[in-house]
Structure 1
Amino acid sequence: MAAMSGRAAAENPFKAALQDAGPALGFWSSLANPVLAELVAEHAGFQWMLFDTEHAPNDVHTLVAQLQAIRFSGVPAVVRPVRNHPVEIKRLLDIGFRNLLVPNVQSADEARQAVRASRYPPAGVRGVSGYHRNNGYGRIADYFEFIDDVIAIIAQVETVEAMERLEEIAAVEGVDALFVGPGDLAASLGHLGRIKAAPVQDAIRAIGQRARAQGCKIGIAAGTVEDVARYRDWGYSLFTVGSDVNLFRQAVEGLSDTLRNYR
């Protein structure tokens, strides 16, 4: 990834941070709740937040509310579209996101498709509007001059096919990082629901090592800090650690068990 200008880095600190070697620890948000998003963003341990639409009940309305809730926190927001489609990507960019985790990228052509969807003509196919949230509803007069350089695209590697084409995907201009989806990768490898199965962990290790050899930033969804430590040894440096769904479920289960035993 080419070095960013000072203006571009100021407009998207998260993309600038992707050039650093150190870890970037994020939080996976799926519950579509602005109050919860605000609560998470107030804690300094999380360096970024991922808002999911692929497997969560988020839409542009719930996402705008969450972006507003964390606006003054300084925590960068990343969004995962439902699919790699120019209309999906356009709408997410217009409401304020500048970082996209694009799901199920299977090839260099699909990676290029994601990049082009995030760029205005002639570099891409993003539809033009002069008045949307990402450009301050028209207040940012030079928006069109810098925004293409500011958008970050993270391509999600989730299948055997994508793993085989890893270097080709990473080499696409405009792809800033790769990100492993361990659940789908496990399923693609024939180990549905068994992320910790040895063949799956071996594949995750190999992907990390190949990305590091390519000089490409790579991330993964990590359930625990122990997972983070293991994956860091394998070349990963971009992580989501935990999620609102799992944390809330675990807390409710713990309280429920305590109350049941109390009776």
Structure 2
Amino acid sequence: MGQDGTPSGDLRVTTRRPLREVLADPTTRLTATFLLIPRLELVELLANAGFDAVVIDLEHGPVAVAELPGLVAAGHGAGVYVLARLGERTPATIGGVLDSGVDGVVLPHVDSADDARDAVDSARFPPEGSRSLNPYVRAAGYDAAESFLTTANAGVAVLVMVEGKDGLAALDDIASVAGVDAVFVGPVDLSASLGLPGEPEHPVVLETVRDLMERLALAGVGTGIYCPTPDAAARWQRAGARLATLSADIAMASAGFRRTVEELHDLNTEGRSR
């Protein structure tokens, strides 16, 4: 079920609450996945499978900003939220991605309150920030009314990624920055920063994430988190994560392909043994 009570994967246009408003609700439990293959068919398949959101990965996926409008349109048509994870936090990059009409941005390697303030500033129109306005982009409906500045500021979510020791040390300051809608935890990079590379399920990493989520909850800020498995996603959703980003399109497709071939091999082996 989607946040508005409609099935996530019915491939119909739905009217949804702005993502920023949804993430402000402590009862929110959205399930997303990373999209690294920039195909609208995959966006629709993920929506049809029941995901509430997709996070288009411009940091690690071969996705160009020019491909975003079609992917965003496919996601919105299918009734899911569409976010973009950026590879950099420059104002021009943030503004260009937001012009495509995404519901939110996930901004990497935020290590201080100043980093968080700069990110929010780049994502909000004046007077809340310094985002540049072009009325002829998709996010503005190609012909912006005056209300666009207000609705964009009220609706577009800014999620900042805490992935290292500096970010952990500055977590309370980061969470206090006005306009930060959620802190997105990257357990893979976090495990490396804790001296446990490639071990996001190590007890030390898990305890660090639990502590982080508790501190964010006390600050009234939502948590987003990458979850490699359904077990991890269920664990962090029970702990209060408002956006659990489960696996990635490539990982799930690869696992499905392998299972299908292995099933065929097993059936052929059974047939020969009879």
State the TM-score, normalizing by the size of structure 1: 0.89
Give unpaired runs (5+ residues) of structure 1: 1-9
Q: Whole-Å Cα distance in 2 between the matches of residues 229 and 122 of structure 1?
A: 39
Q: Which residue of 1 aligns with 2:272?
A: none
Q: Which residue of 2 aligns with 1:39?
A: 45
Query: How do 1:50-89 residues align onto structure 2 when only pairs under 5 Å count?
Result: 50-89=55-94
Q: State the SS of the aligned residue for 1:138.
A: coil
User: Which of 21, 27, 47 is residue 26 of structure 2 equivalent to?
Assistant: 21
Shift in Å, 1:133? 0.5
Shift in Å, 1:142? 2.6
Does 2:210 correspond to 1:244? no
Contact 2:110 2:160 in 1 (8 A): yes
Question: 66-75 vs 102-111, which deviates more?
Answer: 66-75
Q: Whole-Å Cα distance in 2 between the matches of residues 48 and 14 of structure 1?
A: 10
Aligned residues: 253
Contact 1:34 1:62 in 2 (8 A): no
Does 2:232 correspond to 1:227? yes
Q: Which residue of 2 aligns with 1:147?
A: 152
Shift in Å, 1:145? 3.7
Q: Whole-Å Cα distance in 2 between the matches of residues 139 and 215 of structure 1?
A: 33
State the TM-score, normalizing by the size of structure 2: 0.85
Q: State the SS of the aligned residue for 2:161.
A: strand
Shift in Å, 1:191? 1.1
Q: State the SS of the aligned residue for 1:54.
A: coil
User: Which of 126, 129, 143 is residue 138 of structure 1 equivalent to?
Assistant: 143
CA deviation vs aligned residue, 1:213-238 (integer Å, no higher than 9, x gap): 22221121112232123223444232
Contact 1:12 1:151 in 2 (8 A): no
Identity of aligned residues (%): 31
Contact 2:19 2:156 in 1 (8 A): no
Does 2:188 correspond to 1:183? yes
1:134–1:12 Cα change, 3 Å: farther
Q: Whole-Å Cα distance in 2 between the matches of residues 155 and 40 of structure 1?
A: 24
1:134–1:201 Cα change, 3 Å: same
Q: Which residue of 2 aligns with 1:159?
A: 164
Letter matched to residue 128 of structure 1: L
Q: Whole-Å Cα distance in 1 between the matches of residues 192 and 238 of structure 2?
A: 24
Give unpaired runs (5+ residues) of structure 2: 1-14, 270-274
Question: 66-75 vs 180-189, which deviates more?
Answer: 66-75
Q: Which residue of 2 aligns with 1:207?
A: 212
Query: How do 1:121-132 residues align onto structure 2 when only pairs under 5 Å count?
Result: 121-132=126-137
